[in-house]
Structure 1
Amino acid sequence: MRNPLAPASVLAERLADVPLLDHHCHGIVREAPDTDTVLDHLTEAPDRLAARTTPLESSLGIGVRAALGLVLGLEAPVRSEDYLTARAAYAPEDLFARSLATGGVRGLLVDTGFRSELVLEPAELEAASGVPALEVVRLEAIAERVLADLGATADFRAALEAAVARAARRAVAYKSVAAYRSGLDLPDRPPAPRALETALARILDERDRGHGVRVVDRDLVAAIVWAALEVAPLPLQFHVGIGDPDVRLARGHPGELQPFIEAIAPHGVRLVLLHTYPFHREAALLAHDYPHVFVDLGLAESFVGPAAPAVLAEMLELAPWGKLCYSSDAFGLPELYALGALGHRRAMAAYLEPLLAEGWIAEREAFRLARLVAYENALALYELPWPLPTT
């Protein structure tokens, strides 16, 4: 039986030759995971039993099984037990290189701010795969490292700016997880000094009482984001929508960002709304309306599995061709990079084929759209050369 992620038409076969720049992903695990860890990586739920049965019985589950099937040449459909057995025979680095090659991924922009102790760094990913990997720095993680060692609240601004400046020298973009912390309703200006002082005093008091450092105060999140943009106006990625229960879903709608989007327009900063599902149509409208707003589907294209063509079509109802970027948001498991790439290629072919058949666009336009989303939009957004430079 044909693997559902394999090219199913002449157009799909030709699209398979278009390289992909994965503009938002993470590292792969350093150690080969056991079965429980593999299953934990296939759900956003902190308890995989939220699925009641197994995460492999889901849209993501059948998608990742199909992706590994193409990477390793397994017979389709790939059963859950065959998936687990086959992947266990390969070291993470080997499976990673095979996954990128199968998916046609030629560049990676890597968010290093999530569980960095468990996963390979960009230089290690590049060494394992031969694919250039550049860094995206997470602002909340930078601030939390500063706060962990901060002596007095009055020293915060200078210490944060110095840390951001160091990070910006090696990074191509910032990332904020405000949606996981205080919500996306960021103010249209930096917080007042007294409000920031209160937030800092509170978090340092919690730190000193042994509760650790986690930035969740809206004023503090806003201060961090605004300070970073003043230090170096790199493109700024925001997590939007789909995620684990830490996502403040009621305050995670992309429309919450509209005052901030308008406020930063004169600063020359480009914003990227990541994932966006189930708010992808609203995010597409923001990309349509504002010159400095870009979007992707990221995690959503993998998590919806067979439904990816429908979700991509909904995004492209309003998103301009020049504002949508490809990403996988893969973390931990190497085959997730393959799933993101192969699922996106399948979705793009499904979107383009009726446009061609019905005479809406010519073939050259179809391939232009595919190239724009695959890598050209990201190159323009982050002002990068192609091929990407190696580290």
Structure 2
Amino acid sequence: MAGTRSASLDDLRSVIRNCPVIDNHAHNLLLSSQLDAYPFESITTEAQAPALKDTFTSLSHIRAAKQLRELYGCGADEDWDHILEKRADWLEHRRDELHRKCLEGIQSILIDDGLGSAEDVHPYEWHSQYTVSPCKRIVRIETVAETLLEEILENTTEDDIASEEYMAGTWVVFTEAFESEILRALHNPEVVGFKSVICYRTGLNIEPDYEECVLKVGPSFGHYVARCVERQNYRISRKALNDFLVLQTLEIISVRAADNDSLSKPIQFHTGLGDADLKLVRSNPAEMQGLIEQYPLVPFVLLHSSYPYTREAGYLATVYMNVYLDLGEVFPMLSKDGQTSILRQALELSPYSKLLFSTDGHFFPETYWLATKQFREALEEVAVEYVEKNALTLPQAIELGKAILFTNSNILYDLDLSLTIPSSDVAPDQQSLTHNPKPNPSSSVNSTSSLDTFIQNYPSTRYVYLQWLDYMGTLRARILPIAEFTRIVQSGSGIGISRGNTGTLQNDTVTPAVNTTGQLYVEPDLFTLRKTHTKDPLPSASVMGFWRDEDGKAIKECPRGGLQLLLDELETEHNISLVIGFEIEVTFLRRADPSSPPTDRYKPLTANHAWGTLTPEQVYDALPLLAEITEALLDISIEVQQFHAESGPGQYEFVLPPLPGLEAIDTLIQARQVVHQIAHTHGLRATLHPMPLPGVGTAAHAHVSLNSVDRKAVSESKEMAFWVNGVLKHLEAICAFSLPEEVSYQRVIDDSWTGGTWVAWGTQNREVPLRRVQPGRWELRCIDGMANMYLALAAVIGAGLLGLRAGEGAELSAKDCPHNPSKLSDDQRKEYGIERRMPKSIEEALDALEKDEELKHMLAESLVEDYISMKRVEQKMLADMEEGERKTWLIERY
């Protein structure tokens, strides 16, 4: 196992313990003057009045009391009265500190501020001082309606009630005012959703037919008004009227969603567990199935784990795209076994992309602290168990933790927040690119936990290669003794290099891109930490790095960091993640005498050779080498799905598994190192040169799949916008990165299965540069092994983002071509929108990139300008060489 990937469960535990949480459902804290108005022991039970006295013998209370002793710093044996005394001391002398401690780790709270009056609780925005990001509002529709009716009915008399005209007018005034308030909330960026407590009032068997509901509501409204006037109580508890409020809200927000061709703001429903005011048999969310079907554009959030109806809620979240299950309130209301049982029940059927974290925190800050603490404990236990039982892989379990704690709510409520996990031992997509690499004592322990585990697993490791890929695709490295590497990780810093080093060529030739002023820092990304293969000359590990500036901030010009920023934008703005599968095409060459003529300087390892063959020469000369490479890769946890002979002499292919964007490229680079180094131990040169021998073309095809972050299929309109109206539109400029050398264009030919010479796409068509393998999965064929893959894929994603920004419904610039474009007439090509040729040289590609202002902006213009400048100096240098010298120079470097 390799690096933090082998730190099996430590990475998972670190993510679950440290990932910031988005609390998707909670309530306001009490004003200090109201703290004594509610019994503190109610924090672990829905019991009230006489039933509350028995809570002290419940497992939930006993556990919470133990944890509160930890929170307040009490002795282990102190009883409840002592706990209350300690709490009172905190509230009197350290109230703000208690609030901060209890809300620590919460990124944002989505607050239903319909619980408690304005005279009793703090306003929702007050809570933002204790969260990383501002808190937002959830509008409780019953509170809106009751407030409006109290104002409208303020001067109503019994004579008014007897007047049909008055009642009809009052109904019109109320419905218009209610609609205005809901519309106002829809347009208010501080409001991210709605909430109904109809479960408490009349149950979840809501009439799903709007017209039928309207017919029933008249008499119900009259009875309600009469009661309000008589009792001065404006609580709405008439079924027809309660049903109407829900349906009217759904109608309003559904129409708005249809106008925008998107999902609306969500609406939350109390389901399941509640106090004695609730009729439990009416709280089963299964009652809502007809309603959910009626409003497919409205996301329904089933609150409070729907306990004890969690499985019913899980079913709804599984079969309906617009249903989500909140996992709140059972923390801290249930025992620990009950809580883990709830998580398992939710995961029995529900996709974890449909599960949301909440505290249901209310009145007392300790409710937030207990819920968050207990939820993390239960989630860790369940996730670790699933990994150990092989129900989930480690990356899947890590993704599950992030999704439930943060990502799902971030996407559902359109919060546009960035996830920053306070630990550098997690994957790049699990932490921000803008964290400060300078010493941070509060996070140093977390940041070294996976490194400590790695060292325990591989105690012989004495050195670490800290690596980065420069603009020219050259792998640069600093070699650090393990003690120094540990110091860097513990300090949260990186190694300093001159900014000028980013502007030099493969042989350190200076270019106009060199900036002799300034420093950047290469910060190790511990998620990429791997032991090296057994034949490495050092007992070592390798790790990839990010570039940071002197203030520790991300540098967009960093090929790796810039790619991650684009991946983040694709995920947050369009709910799309990428999975990439690479093929390593490589030619194994024997070096001849250096004095040999240039044409004879290299010979293929195997000459009796064809695609997919195993001749005796291949079996005995090549197969042991291929097997040794595959075993070496497996030993460092890089899986090879298959390997086989390619069509050229000495040419073979290793197929790597599909992986998330950045991880796929990191793995590709580390795998290539193994291929090159193992070959060298056999006196061979393994080269990625696109034309190492006459007629032997070598590519580096990338299979890119578009996946929805929330596990839903990416729509065909998004797919086509990304690939056809985005990537295809900018393909000539992309080639400057994907086909980065003059020799690369020797493969841009027709009738050779290399992608052809026309800018086109086609399903299962290998004579076009963009092959659609199947819906959502595409093969980029115009790419070879000389490319800096971070830059090449960044260009592809940047272009795809431009296509998405232009709009999903835009007319396609080209059609699916089922033919070899070179065999079509001009008119036939025009029918498929094929009118442009691929670049014929690197200079044409660089010219296209230089003119492509949109793509330059996506990639950072300074990066593109430096890259173009460097490539032109490089091309002049190569052009001045003799042909044989040039080929040798490139073969020995790629």
Q: Gaps (5+ residues) in structure 1?
A: 1-8
Contact 2:303–2:328 (CA<8 Å) still a contact in 1?
yes
Give the drift of 1:189.
2.0
Which stretch has the larger CA shift, 178-187 or 196-205?
196-205
Give the drift of 1:379.
1.1
Q: 1:241-390 to 2 correspondence within 5 Å?
A: 241-265=272-296, 268-275=297-304, 276-307=306-337, 308-387=339-418
Alignment partners' CA distance in 1, 2:387 and 2:232: 58
Match for residue 187 of structure 1? 207
Give the drift of 1:76.
4.2
Contact 1:93–1:129 (CA<8 Å) still a contact in 2?
no
Give the drift of 1:19.
1.2
Give the drift of 1:29.
1.2
SS at match of 1:116: coil
Match for residue 840 of structure 2? none
1:90 matched to 2:90? The reply is: yes
Could you tell me which of 166, 178, 186 is aligned with 1:160? Answer: 178
Which stretch has the larger CA shift, 234-243 or 69-78?
69-78
SS at match of 2:39: helix
Amino acid aligned to 1:86: K
Alignment partners' CA distance in 2, 1:221 and 1:192: 10
Q: Deviations over 1:64-99 (max 9, x none)?
A: 324433433445466423321221122354322111
Contact 1:64–1:336 (CA<8 Å) still a contact in 2?
no
Q: Deviations over 1:108-130 (max 9, x none)?
A: 10000011332212111113555
1:99 matched to 2:120? The reply is: no
Q: Gaps (5+ residues) in structure 2?
A: 1-8, 154-169, 254-263, 420-894
| Structure 1 residues 360 and 371, CA gap change in structure 2 (3 angstroms) | same
Amino acid aligned to 2:146: E
Amino acid aligned to 1:176: S
SS at match of 1:317: helix
Give the drift of 1:363.
1.6
| Structure 1 residues 272 and 77, CA gap change in structure 2 (3 angstroms) | farther
* Higher alpha-carbon Rg: 2
Alignment partners' CA distance in 2, 1:311 and 1:194: 40
Contact 1:28–1:334 (CA<8 Å) still a contact in 2?
yes
Contact 1:153–1:201 (CA<8 Å) still a contact in 2?
no
Which stretch has the larger CA shift, 199-208 or 86-95?
86-95
Match for residue 45 of structure 2? 43
| Structure 1 residues 192 and 106, CA gap change in structure 2 (3 angstroms) | closer
Q: Deviations over 1:194-236 (max 9, x none)?
A: 4222121111111111241111112211211122233334201
| TM-score, normalisation: structure 1 | 0.89
Contact 2:26–2:112 (CA<8 Å) still a contact in 1?
yes
Which stretch has the larger CA shift, 162-171 or 293-302?
162-171
Alignment partners' CA distance in 2, 1:115 and 1:74: 31
Q: 1:4-43 to 2 correspondence within 5 Å?
A: 10=10, 11-31=12-32, 33-34=35-36, 37-43=39-45
Which stretch has the larger CA shift, 149-158 or 312-321?
149-158
Match for residue 220 of structure 2? 199
| TM-score, normalisation: structure 2 | 0.40
| Structure 1 residues 189 and 51, CA gap change in structure 2 (3 angstroms) | same
Contact 1:182–1:221 (CA<8 Å) still a contact in 2?
yes
Which stretch has the larger CA shift, 268-277 or 311-320?
311-320
Match for residue 133 of structure 1? 135
SS at match of 1:24: strand
Choose between structure 1 and 2 for higher RCO, CA contacts under 8 A separated by at least 6 residues: 1
Alignment partners' CA distance in 1, 2:77 and 2:399: 33
Alignment partners' CA distance in 1, 2:26 and 2:209: 30
SS at match of 2:270: strand
Using the aligned pairs only, state the percent identity. Answer: 28
Give the drift of 1:177.
0.4
Contact 1:305–1:343 (CA<8 Å) still a contact in 2?
no
Contact 2:207–2:213 (CA<8 Å) still a contact in 1?
no
Q: RMSD of the alignment, in Å?
A: 2.2
Amino acid aligned to 2:361: A
Contact 2:108–2:132 (CA<8 Å) still a contact in 1?
no
Alignment partners' CA distance in 2, 1:127 and 1:90: 19
| Structure 1 residues 105 and 198, CA gap change in structure 2 (3 angstroms) | same
Amino acid aligned to 1:290: Y
Q: Deviations over 1:160-204 (max 9, x none)?
A: 111222333231000000110011011112244442221211111
Match for residue 122 of structure 2? 120
SS at match of 1:163: helix
Give the drift of 1:251.
1.3
Amino acid aligned to 2:315: L
SS at match of 2:107: strand
Contact 1:199–1:219 (CA<8 Å) still a contact in 2?
yes
Amino acid aligned to 1:186: I
Alignment partners' CA distance in 2, 1:254 and 1:192: 19
Give the drift of 1:132.
2.3
Alignment partners' CA distance in 2, 1:129 and 1:72: 21
Alignment partners' CA distance in 2, 1:278 and 1:96: 31
Which stretch has the larger CA shift, 323-332 or 56-65?
56-65
Paired positions, count: 374
SS at match of 1:125: helix
